[in-house]
Amino acid sequence: LPPGKLKYLTEIDYVRHLALVAIIEQDGRPVEIGVARYVAGPSGDDCEFAIAIDDAWQGSGVAGILMLSLIDAARARGMRKMEAFILASNDKMIKFARQLGFEVRRDADDPGMMHAVRSL
């Protein structure tokens, strides 16, 4: 990874940038199976989230646990709105966001993207 990207992904401050990681033990070693993160916007009271789950663990409930924990953490840190941009073809993610209470609409600037927003 380029140094700037590595710094961004590893130097979180737990307020403006938070990452929650799901880890299991496999063959005596820790293995990351999912990560959910948010980064605060310029106003400091809204944030954008992203989530990634290992293919083998999709549908297991890990994503829901991570996202509910991330939503709680963002709310506790003063965030009032959480959002994400989702590929319009990603039906599973759109359904997941809606199940979590996000309002999902086509992005006005890019018809290939959906915009998910939830008040915290």
Is 108 within a domain?
A: no
Distance CA 46, CA 12 (A): 17
Residue 10 lies in a domain: yes
Q: What is the residue range of 48's domain? A: 3-84
Tell me the DSSP string of 33-96: EEEEEEEE-TTSSEEEEEEEE-GGGTTSSHHHHHHHHHHHHHHHTT--EEEEEEETT-HHHHHH
Render pLDDT for 23-70 as a digit per residue (tens, 0 to 9): 999 999 999 999 999 999 999 999 999 999 999 999 999 999 999 999
Q: Within a domain: residue 90?
A: no
Q: Is residue 29 part of a domain?
A: yes
Model confidence pTM above 0.85: yes
| Cα–Cα dist 111/22, whole Å | 32
* Count of domains forming the chain: 1
Residue 98 in domain: no
Q: Which residue is it, tokens 């297991």?
A: 60
- What is the CATH classification number for the domain harbouring 34? 3.40.630.30
Residue 53: inside a domain: yes
Residue 105 lies in a domain: no
